[in-house]
Structure 1
Amino acid sequence: MSDTLRRTPLYDLHVELGAKMVPFAGYEMPVQYPLGVMKEHLHTRAKAGLFDVSHMGQVVVRHALGYAGAAQEMEALVPVNLLGLGEKRQRYGVFTNDAGGIMDDLMIAHRGDEMFVVVNAACKAQDIAHMRANMPNSEIEEVTDRALLALQGPAAVQVLDPIAQGCDIMKFMDIGIFTSEFGELWVSRSGYTGEDGYEISVHATHAEALARRLLAHEDVEPIGLGARDSLRLEGGLCLYGNDIDTGTSPVEAALSWAIQKVRRAGGDRAGGFPGADRILDELENGPARLRVGLRPEGRAPMREGTEIYEAETGGTPVGRVTSGAFGPTIEGPMSMGYVPAALAADGTLLYGEVRGKRQPLRVAPMPFTPANFKR
């Protein structure tokens, strides 16, 4: 592998566990372990899986006026109600550009007197530069000495609670700071699988010891990027660069739920974010296209780039698949992609062209498997 690839604090542990390592977002990351992608996926749904997500960007934002000051500046970059976010809570958001496209998606947390932000690995340098350029009264600190682990699945709470005592009472999207034998843990009850679980920021010097403790539990297996992708796709969750990008608005991407009423037309703090004219218009009048779930008829997945047609023969493509895989939980293929709004109703019959031949697929509701978040 290239010498320019970075390694997370858990690299040696991945190799010891027999992981197949691949380049991902500038890092050497485990794509699968000896258990294999299918079994890793099913184990996470049934018990608990441990993911290394240390390649993600962790950022602390401080302001002289505390969280409120940081939130006010950040609201100029995201169509999200941050001033109304409760303490020890976090919210999903997107950075938008002047054309209303998505620069990245991120998690934003209210941590008492400061804000904590987690951004995607491939976008973290640009995101941090964007925040520094547009939040002049805030201190933007990139956290470079901590790892980030995700413990996902129905057994996650019983595994983590003895280590971070009290995390069992957290609800979905709660955050907390816990003292532990592995130092201070920054914990959120969230994740990228559709399952109950936690994301845990731990100092790099304690990361391997914490990972070994979690893996010592009989219900926990290490999980790689392969199963992470199929899990998030079953959960109907977007992958930045595939399902959302700078040319995609949050309304087209079916992320309107992430834009609270106060930031919409008629709200107390309507607009005021990049691309607001387009986004508010699409919220009011509907977008020309929509991200939808798609279920191919048959066993073969229709993967990213598959062109979608309205008819079995003739015509030009009306849409495109942005993510596709076999869903181990649903025991069949699944995709998501963009189609004209007029063709976005559940059950609509369309055709995907695979190796020159059109195969039927239907628009289907997402998530493909029900979410199990702790409400």
Structure 2
Amino acid sequence: MSDNKTETLKKLPLDSWHRGFGARMVPFAGYEMPVQFEGVMAEHLWTREYAGLFDVSHMGQVQLEGEGAADALEAIVPGNISALGAGKIRYTLLLAQDGGILDDLMVTNTGRNLYLVVNGATKHDDIAYFNAQLPSDVTLSHMEDSALLALQGPKAAEALAKLNISPMQPGWPVPTDLYFMEAGPFMWGDIPLGISRSGYTGEDGFEISVPAEHAEKLAAALCALEEVKPIGLGARDSLRLEAGLPLYGHDMDADVLPVEANLNFALSKARREEGNFAGAEQVLAQYPNKTDKKRVGLLVNGRQPIREGASVVDADGNHIGAVTSGGFSPTLQKPIAMAYVPTALAETGTEITVEQRGKAISCTVADMPFVPHNYHRKPKL
């Protein structure tokens, strides 16, 4: 059975390119994905200091078109999409009718349509949900012929500038003039690119949507630069963990509501007041802090990493929560984790006990991000 499953794994547009760089490939979200090239630790630290190129083409890229697309999307997400200006991006949550989180996603107002990036493991379910919920005058297009690359790290802008990418229209900013959560259409020679200043590592960087047939040319041009190396899924996971960013299917799922996931910022004030999104009654009943459990960060007191599935226990050894992500932090040189704990124990500095393989491990609730974000934000006036 596992052999048949392996045979049905999809290949990324850059599959052979990754293998040429010596990538170790693993199954992930229905694809064969590069988990590492040189090693997770080296790749993680390189991205923190220079720039790493991540292939995230397994993610779902979707376009919504139609005059009522923003209002229609607001029926199933709590973000203020109708107020999103052209060239701006918003993080939001796809919610079930009971308020459970079906996915988290990025929404960009391109000025012509809405461009969505959803998680790879959930993209087909997401699209089915969109199609069931959106009105007939809103058209959904799944961009299956596009690849998605993420250039992340403090040298990302410096590297991208060397490719001489130009705005699609005169007078528009070049990619490196974008601020965090801004996007635009660009041209690299005769190749169209959609570039956003965003990512999921906590570092400055860009996500680049490129026609799949040109993905290898772009990846090769970037990795020919001294600042850039290809980076695998392993380092992407350790970077996002240090950044305190939840991973769908691990740190949140359909059984978790936004406040429990500590994602209050995704519930915009205007939408809270309107209360007209999926699951609003259940979601707002918990806002801002009326919930039994909450996602928190944990610093492990010791050198033993704790992993997803480890149990949070009380003084009598009773199960009261669970670790959802965990690993060794290359930047901090110590183990860190995320977990759901009773809200009464969610305050920073609270001592928590985690049981893993019969061993009790002491942890301390910590503020997230564990490593400060390095986003290129627009200066406040």
Q: Same fold (TM over 0.5)?
A: yes
Q: TM-score, normalised by structure 1?
A: 0.95
C-alpha RMSD of matched pairs (Å): 1.0
Trace 1:184-199 onto structure 2 (pairs within 5 A): 184-199=192-207
C-alpha separation in 2, matches of 1:23 and 1:357: 30
Q: Is the 8 A contact 2:307 2:327 kept in 1?
A: yes
Q: Is the 8 A contact 1:182 1:202 kept in 2?
A: no
Deviations 1:264-320 (A, max 9, x none): 1xx2xx221111111111115521111000011001111101101232xx2411111
Q: Which residue of 1 aligns with 2:350?
A: 348
Q: Is the 8 A contact 1:182 1:210 kept in 2?
A: no
* Alignment-mate amino acid for residue 149 of structure 2: L
Query: Residues 325 and 285 from structure 1, CA distance in 2 versus in 1: closer, same or farther, beyond 3 angstroms?
Result: closer
C-alpha separation in 1, matches of 2:98 and 2:113: 30
Trace 1:15-164 onto structure 2 (pairs within 5 A): 15-33=19-37, 35-63=38-66, 65=67, 69-136=68-135, 137-163=137-163, 164=165
Which deviates further from its counterpart, 358-367 or 157-166?
A: 157-166
Structure 1 stretches lacking a partner, 5+ long: none
Deviation at 1:17, TM superposition (A): 0.3
C-alpha separation in 1, matches of 2:321 and 2:264: 20
Q: Which residue of 1 aligns with 2:264?
A: 256
Deviations 1:242-268 (A, max 9, x none): 00000001111011101110011xx2x
Aligned match for 1:374, one of 369, 373, 376: 376
How many equivalent residue pairs? Answer: 364
Q: Is the 8 A contact 1:182 1:209 kept in 2?
A: no
The alignment partner of 2:335 has SS state of strand
Q: Which residue of 1 aligns with 2:179?
A: 171
Once the two structures are aligned, what percentage of the paired residues are identical? 51
Query: Residues 322 and 285 from structure 1, CA distance in 2 versus in 1: closer, same or farther, beyond 3 angstroms?
Result: closer
Q: Is the 8 A contact 2:259 2:289 kept in 1?
A: no
Structure 2 stretches lacking a partner, 5+ long: 167-173
C-alpha separation in 2, matches of 1:227 and 1:315: 33
Deviation at 1:113, TM superposition (A): 2.3
C-alpha separation in 1, matches of 2:227 and 2:355: 41
Deviation at 1:161, TM superposition (A): 2.0
Q: Is the 8 A contact 2:328 2:336 kept in 1?
A: yes
C-alpha separation in 1, matches of 2:45 and 2:79: 34
* Alignment-mate amino acid for residue 125 of structure 2: Q
Query: Residues 284 and 43 from structure 1, CA distance in 2 versus in 1: closer, same or farther, beyond 3 angstroms?
Result: closer
C-alpha separation in 1, matches of 2:157 and 2:144: 27
* Alignment-mate amino acid for residue 325 of structure 1: G
Query: Residues 52 and 285 from structure 1, CA distance in 2 versus in 1: closer, same or farther, beyond 3 angstroms?
Result: closer
C-alpha separation in 1, matches of 2:153 and 2:147: 20
Deviation at 1:119, TM superposition (A): 0.5
Runs of 4+ in 1 over 3 A off after TM superposition: none
C-alpha separation in 2, matches of 1:182 and 1:322: 44
Deviation at 1:70, TM superposition (A): 0.6
Trace 1:140-289 onto structure 2 (pairs within 5 A): 140-163=140-163, 164-165=165-166, 166-181=174-189, 183-264=191-272, 267=273, 270-284=274-288, 286-289=290-293
Deviations 1:215-237 (A, max 9, x none): 00111111001111000000000
